A and B are shown apart, each in its own frame.
Chain A
Amino acid sequence: MAEAVIGESRHAPGGGRMSVGQIERELGRLRTNDDGTLALRSSVLNLIVVTDEESAPEIADSVSKLAGRHPARALVFISDPEGESNVDIGLSAFCHARGGGGSQVCAEQVTIHAEGPPAMHLESLAGPLLIPDLPVYLWYPGEFSPSSPGFAAMADLADRIIVDSAASESHEACLREIAALVEDPEMPAIGDLQWVGLSPWRSLLADTFGAPERAGDLEKIGRSEVLYAPGGENRALLLVGWLASTLGWKPVSASRDGEGQKKIEFSGTSGDISVVLSPDSPDARLRRIRLYSEEYSFQVSRHRELSDVRTTVMRGDELLAERTVHLGAFDLGVLVGEELHYRGRDETYEGSLRAAVEILDL
């Protein structure tokens, strides 16, 4: 077992507008321990976050937690283009020692309030503060506007952009915007936190076809049901998009009933497939997915303990296989942390996203 990581937040006094040189000097000072020794700086990446005043405390908290797993220089922009022209900079460091002893190691955070015109040119503030030779991740935790000039300039700095397609009120529009970004050759790789949250579901669903005698049933799926919570629409759509793009289902038609249930018809290599997406209780973004072939039903569903998930394979009423495992923690920091593992394009995600947008286009 790894030793415990004991952390300490250090903040620089003052703030206001500072030069790049002043910021670097102050960050160096923050790493000075009480006994005069200098803590190490450890960085494996640059993380730029663009958020607003309201979300800032939660985001700052997630970023400081991320420092434990992905030591980074984090630049957190709190941006308000509507205000009067102003830039205010705060500096902090999250320092930790393993097991309470040994060398202190610090990850740095620069928080920049940009109001008025400077908020339209965040790239001019971010660029000079990036640590050279390390990858740059650009994270928009909330709504983002890809058509704004500021977005393109920030994207230019980044190796990967992390967005959350559930953060926008119009989840359909958001998914389409991300799909457009993915097709733009000028854009770096894109990651969506809703897709990251699907990983264990996809893995568990794949497990149900692990037995060779059932693998052939992937071609014989005729029906599927997905239960999701409000806010989980895009996650559910991406899950269905993944199945469609992987299994070669072509969307044919879609309809919605009065209770918000969406029915999608696909044509597959061995017949038609009908998928029903139904809104469910709000306690879990995804509640359940069930696939039916001629002979079997395959199900992954949240357990009564929401941290666990239960997988079953049935033949009629006969339970063939059953298992309960941890779904894992899925707070914001964990989801972003997962994305920070990847730099390149995720073709499976892109294929699933395209299929999800095709469903929306029906």
Chain B
Amino acid sequence: MADTQVLQNILRDEQRLPRVPEPGVMVIFGASGDLTARKLVPALYDLAAQRRLPLEFAVVGISRTQMSHEEYRGKLRKALEEHRSGEVSGDVWESFAGGIFYLPGDSKKAETYEGLQELLKRLDRERGTQGNRAFYLASSPSLFPAIVENLGEAGLNEGDDGGWSRLVVEKPFGRDLGSARELNAELQRYFDETQIYRIDHYLGKETVQNILALRFANGIFEPVWNQHYVDHVQITVAEDLGVGTRGAFYEEAGALRDIVQNHVMQVLCLTAMEPPVAFDAESVREEKVKVLKAVRPIPEDEVEDYAVRGQYERGWVWGEEVPGYHEEENVDTESVTETYVALKVFVDNWRWARVPFYIRAGKRLPKKATEVAIQFHASPHTPFARDDTEGLAPNVLVVRVQPQEGLSLKIGAKVPGTGFEVSSVNMDLLYGTAFLEEAPDAYQRLLLDLMLGDPTLFIRADEAEGSWKILDTVMRHWAQKREVSFYQAGTWGPEEAEDLLERDGREWRRP
């Protein structure tokens, strides 16, 4: 085996050839669901067409609907045309589809897994998939424990004949700290943590990864990236859309669970973490966990001072009148589910002591924008007359994740003229103008990493639990109090959110 491994690497052992995973099968639970159609299959097709998947690769879809392999292939082909822009090549599709199989079955029943085991062994024999399997849980989260248990009981938690077995879990990773711990315990009963890939597609975005590149590939930012120079940090994840058809889901989730616990906490970690010793899974995730551990717990009796909960009412967004949350489909008219969250958190460590991180995430805000703004202390003394510096604001470094990904640095500059008037100007770098190549879709990147066995951009159990822990008191308080502040759709959130910063003598940026 060792000899063949060395030989196998000979033709690939160079930087200019892309890394291609070992042979294997991806088994998708929830095969007829939205995620499979919209994201997974287009990403896999593109990876296959771009020669990034191994020659011996297969996809097995499992769901309750009765379908033949051929019918399933037809369904995915249709979904591909619907959800993926660009032409689908007939021959490439036929070749890819030849490796797609479907298994109808109830994922709660043991016999489904007997059938699966049989099919996987057949694929190993006929398609050379080498006993390597990735199980993708794209089904309803309520089915996760049953699927994992059945996989474990069927012995599918280990690859066949020396192969590997990996488990991919989509968010939400639980509903709160308690259920996250339960879920992790369930997963870890049958799978080792190194086999578990918790996916947050945010981490697959190039622009999110760019936060790390900006911080750790440039010598000039890191020396000022601390409490000596930074006054405060604002993290914004704003959407202009409402809940749309996801009312029923949103009623259960709310902005805190849907966005803050995962995406926002990840952005917070990348912004606040110490430099990892290497860009590998353990080094990066260890540093992220340290940030989560350092976040000061919000006392339950002080939640009001640190957290704001908002819900949108009818208003105008981009020239269009839009309904309030209560008017949305499948939403309780008395609902107090938050569509907006503002938080103040402190990362109690040497680097960030006393620096507030203001976080806001919401729906039906004036525009879609995700950004991290590092506001630096004002210059300690200005030699210019006060009248001349009226237009001067402290330096702000903004890392824009979307849209118009890039960097913006607000600096003071002299206004042309005979006096010495100084004003702030923005220096912008749009990543898109320097690198126009199309960035791969986040799912493409993550699915490839999964097949390659690189978990760096996936969430570890203690990360998932750590972020729930930070929000635990807030969720408990909100569940008891059952009150929400309102904001008009098309505004930047409720007044209480403004107060949160005003009390500290600060104000939200306009992204």
Contact = CB atoms under 8 A, between A and B. Distances in A.
Interface of A: 1-2, 5, 40, 42, 44, 68-71, 98, 102-103, 105, 199-200, 202-213, 215-216, 218-219, 246-247, 303, 305, 307-308, 310-311, 313, 320-326, 328, 342, 346-348
Contacts of A326: 49-51, 89, 92
Given A98-B432, A203-B20, A212 B8 contact: yes
Interface string B11-33: 11010111010110000000000
Contacts of B4: 212-213, 215-216
Nearest to A40: B433
B333 interface: no
Contacts of B20: 203, 206-207, 210
Given A1-B438, A246-B10, A208 B55 contact: yes
Interface of B: 1, 3-5, 7-8, 10-12, 14, 16-18, 20, 22-23, 48-51, 54-56, 85-86, 89, 91-92, 94-95, 98, 127-128, 130, 404, 428, 430, 432-439, 441
25 contacts: A1-B85, A5-B436, A40-B430, A44-B435, A69-B436, A71-B433, A103-B430, A206-B17, A206-B20, A209-B7, A209-B11, A210-B55, A211-B128, A212-B4, A213-B4, A218-B8, A308-B91, A308-B92, A323-B48, A324-B92, A325-B49, A325-B95, A326-B50, A342-B16, A348-B14
Given A199-B16, A203-B51, A209-B8, 15 more contacts: A2-B438, A44-B434, A44-B435, A102-B404, A206-B20, A207-B55, A215-B5, A311-B55, A321-B56, A323-B48, A323-B55, A324-B92, A324-B95, A326-B92, A346-B16
A109 B256 CA distance: 51
B430 A105 contact: yes
Nearest to A312: B55
B7 A218 contact: yes
Contacts of B439: 2
B51 A42 contact: no
A336 to B, nearest CB: 14
Nearest to B128: A211
A292 to B, nearest CB: 16
Contacts of A202: 11, 17
A212 B1 contact: yes
B433 A105 contact: yes
A322 B18 CA distance: 20
Contacts of A218: 7-8, 10-11
A68 B437 CA distance: 8
Contact of B18 (A42, A203, A346): A203
B11 A205 contact: yes
B433 A210 contact: no
A313 B89 contact: no
A247 B10 contact: yes
Contacts, number: 132
A103 B51 contact: no
A219 B50 contact: no
A42 B127 CA distance: 48
Contacts of B432: 2, 98
A68 B438 CA distance: 11
B5 A210 contact: no
Which one of A44, A216, A321, A322 has the greatest number of beta carbons of chain B within 10 Å?
A321
Q: Which 8 A-B pairs have the closest CB atoms?
A: A215-B8, A206-B11, A324-B95, A215-B4, A105-B433, A42-B433, A2-B438, A348-B14
B74 to A, nearest CB: 19
Nearest to A211: B128
A38 to B, nearest CB: 13
Contacts of A348: 14, 16
Contact of A216 (B7, B49, B94, B128): B7
A204 B7 contact: no
Contacts of B437: 69
Nearest to B91: A324
A328 B51 CA distance: 10
B95 A323 contact: yes
B32 to A, nearest CB: 25
Nearest to A325: B51
Contacts of B85: 1
Contacts of B433: 40, 42, 71, 98, 103, 105
A210 B432 CA distance: 36
Which one of B14, B16, B404 has the greatest number of beta carbons of chain A within 10 Å?
B16
Contacts of A346: 16
A325 B92 contact: yes
A327 to B, nearest CB: 9
Contact of A322 (B51, B95, B436): B95
B91 to A, nearest CB: 5
Contacts of A247: 10
Nearest to A102: B404
Contacts of B94: 324
A212 to B, nearest CB: 5
A291 to B, nearest CB: 11
Contacts of B23: 210-211
A246 B14 CA distance: 11
A200 B50 CA distance: 9
Contacts of A206: 11-12, 17, 20
B15 to A, nearest CB: 8
A80 B432 CA distance: 38
Contact of B91 (A40, A102, A212, A303): A303
B218 to A, nearest CB: 15
Nearest to A103: B430
B128 A320 contact: yes
Contacts of A68: 436
Contacts of A204: 51
Nearest to B126: A320
A218 B1 CA distance: 14
Contacts of A1: 85-86, 438, 441
B39 to A, nearest CB: 13
B431 to A, nearest CB: 10
